[in-house]
């Protein structure tokens, strides 16, 4: 306020400042709201999708839909699962090739080997804990009402000798045809062959193992090839740099395709903490931490193992020793190559299910809770 010729006048400058401050406050609140929505959009949409899905499921529960109608109703979810499965091949192969090619163990020699071995052992232990807890708690037993095979989808027969399961594991690790491994795997089936007659004239039959090639990606063979190929590219030195750059670029393009928020953005903060607060040498921290951020995925391994056993129990499928071993190995390997993205665990669970021959139709149940885990 100021006086001019004995009259009290309002200071226009201060009024403008007040209006500007109020406007800035409103703008600041709006910006904060927009930033919050941008940061949490995926969580908000996922929660909304879960609520809408539960609501629609309760609405149509008593409508006595036919199997064809239920299949049509499940079509959007089927499309989502198809898109997730579509990117398994480029994601796994390119990330493992670029990762293996970038590991220069000669730079720190023994330290690199010890670190990688430690990370892999802890992840394998975590996988074992996950499988053990799943068999103890039995989360999928008695949950047959949730089985999406009620949509009329064919169940998978996994009755197989334990020896043949281990032999199939070895065969799939070394595929005879790398191109065919992208869409076909090896599995042992059985047929009854007449071997003669007994004393009563009854025909005697013997169960004979027969090799088959069912549809489904041979993930184990592709993973092993990608890791060996990446190491071979690194051994080539300058001659392999072009291919390494190609696979790095391809891997980045794949990650952009499937990711919204990268959890590895915390890596710079982790490096700063380790180097400045704990005094760790930069050469060590900048070699070990990126490997740990990629390889040390114990929680992901536990979740994937529990999910695989849950889906097996949901479909009333008894897992044999070979399949359990495959779950442990595949969960460890796939968690190493897992992307730090929302719903990235669904892709790796699909890898495990493909490896042990279980149906992937129940992945939608995992997708509903993946955002919580």
Q: What is the spatial distance between Cα 284 and Cα 266, in angstroms, rounded to a whole number?
A: 18
Q: What is the spatial distance between Cα 329 and Cα 165, in angstroms, rounded to a whole number?
A: 14
String of DSSP letters for 204-222: EEEEEEEEE--BS--HHHH
Handedness of CA 325, 331, 332, 337 (dihedral sign): positive
- Which residues pair with residue 184 across a beta bridge? 215
- Which residues pair with residue 210 across a beta bridge? 189
Q: Is the pTM of this model over 0.85?
A: no
Q: What is the spatial distance between Cα 201 and Cα 77, in angstroms, rounded to a whole number?
A: 56
Q: At residue 190, what are phi and psi to the nearest 5 degrees?
A: -135, 145
Q: How many other C-beta atoms lie within 10 A of the C-beta of residue 126?
A: 24
Name the one residue in this structure whose structure tokens are 């299910």. Answer: 353
pLDDT at 319: 84
Name the one residue in this structure whose structure tokens are 């003669």. Answer: 196
Largest CA distance in the chain: 134
Both tokens assigned to 41 = 């959009």
pLDDT at 153: 40
pLDDT at 155: 41
pLDDT in tens, the chain (373 residues): 555 555 555 554 556 566 566 666 666 777 788 888 887 776 787 788 878 888 887 888 778 878 888 888 878 877 877 776 777 677 667 766 776 676 665 654 566 678 778 888 888 899 899 899 988 988 877 655 455 445 444 443 445 565 676 777 788 888 888 888 877 888 787 887 777 776 676 777 777 788 888 777 777 787 778 777 877 887 787 777 888 788 777 766 766 665 543 444 455 567 677 777 788 876 677 667 766 766 677 888 888 888 888 888 888 888 888 888 888 888 887 666 554 455 556 767 877 887 777 777 777 777 767 666 6
318 CB burial (10 A radius; 0-12, 13-18, 19+) = exposed
Pseudo-torsion of CA 129, 135, 138, 142, nearest 10°? 150
What is residue 73's three-state secondary structure? helix
Name the one residue in this structure whose structure tokens are 């032999």. Answer: 167
Radius of gyration of the chain (CA): 28
Strands 2-4 and 203-212: unpaired
Helix (H), strand (E) at residue 8: strand 7-9
How many residues belong to the chain?
Answer: 373
Say if residues 42 and 261 touch (Cβ distance below 8 Å). Answer: yes
Both tokens assigned to 49 = 């999708």
Q: What is the spatial distance between Cα 82 and Cα 43, in angstroms, rounded to a whole number?
A: 22
pLDDT at 156: 39
pLDDT at 260: 44
């Amino acid at each position: 306020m100021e006086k001019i010729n004995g009259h009290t006048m309002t200071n226009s400058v201060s009024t403008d400042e007040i209006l500007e401050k109020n406007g800035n406050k409103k703008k600041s609140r709006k910006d904060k709201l927009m930033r919050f929505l941008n940061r949490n959009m995926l969580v908000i949409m996922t929660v909304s999708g879960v609520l809408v899905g539960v609501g629609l499921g309760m609405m149509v529960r008593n409508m006595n839909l036919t199997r064809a109608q239920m299949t049509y109703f499940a079509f959007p979810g089927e499309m989502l699962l198809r898109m997730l499965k579509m990117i398994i091949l480029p994601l796994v192969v390119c990330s493992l090739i670029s990762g293996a090619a970038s590991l220069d163990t000669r730079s720190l020699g023994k330290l690199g080997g010890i670190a990688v071995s430690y990370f892999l052992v802890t992840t394998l232990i975590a996988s074992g804990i996950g499988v053990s807890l799943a068999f103890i708690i039995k989360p999928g037993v008695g949950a047959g009402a949730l089985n999406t095979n009620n949509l009329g989808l064919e169940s998978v027969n996994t009755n197989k000798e334990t020896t043949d399961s281990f032999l199939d594991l070895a065969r799939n690790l070394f595929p005879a045809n790398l191109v065919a491994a992208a869409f076909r795997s090896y599995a042992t089936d059985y047929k009854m062959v007449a071997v003669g007659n007994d004393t009563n004239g009854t025909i005697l039959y013997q169960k004979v193992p027969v090799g088959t090639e069912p549809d489904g990606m041979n993930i184990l063979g592709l993973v092993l090839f990608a890791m060996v190929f990446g190491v071979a590219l690194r051994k080539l030195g300058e001659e392999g740099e072009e291919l390494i750059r190609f696979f790095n670029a391809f891997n980045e393009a794949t990650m952009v395709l499937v990711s919204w928020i990268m959890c590895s953005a915390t890596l710079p903060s982790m490096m700063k903490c380790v180097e400045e607060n704990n005094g760790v040498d930069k050469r060590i921290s900048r070699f070990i931490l990126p490997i740990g951020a990629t390889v040390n995925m114990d929680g992901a391994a536990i979740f994937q193992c529990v999910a695989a056993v849950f889906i097996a129990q949901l479909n009333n499928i008894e897992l044999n020793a070979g399949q359990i071993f495959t779950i442990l190995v595949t969960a460890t390997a796939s968690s190493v190559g897992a992307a730090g993205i929302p719903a990235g665990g669904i892709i790796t669970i699909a890898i495990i299910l493909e490896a042990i021959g279980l149906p992937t139709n129940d992945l939608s149940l995992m997708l509903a809770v993946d955002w919580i885990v």
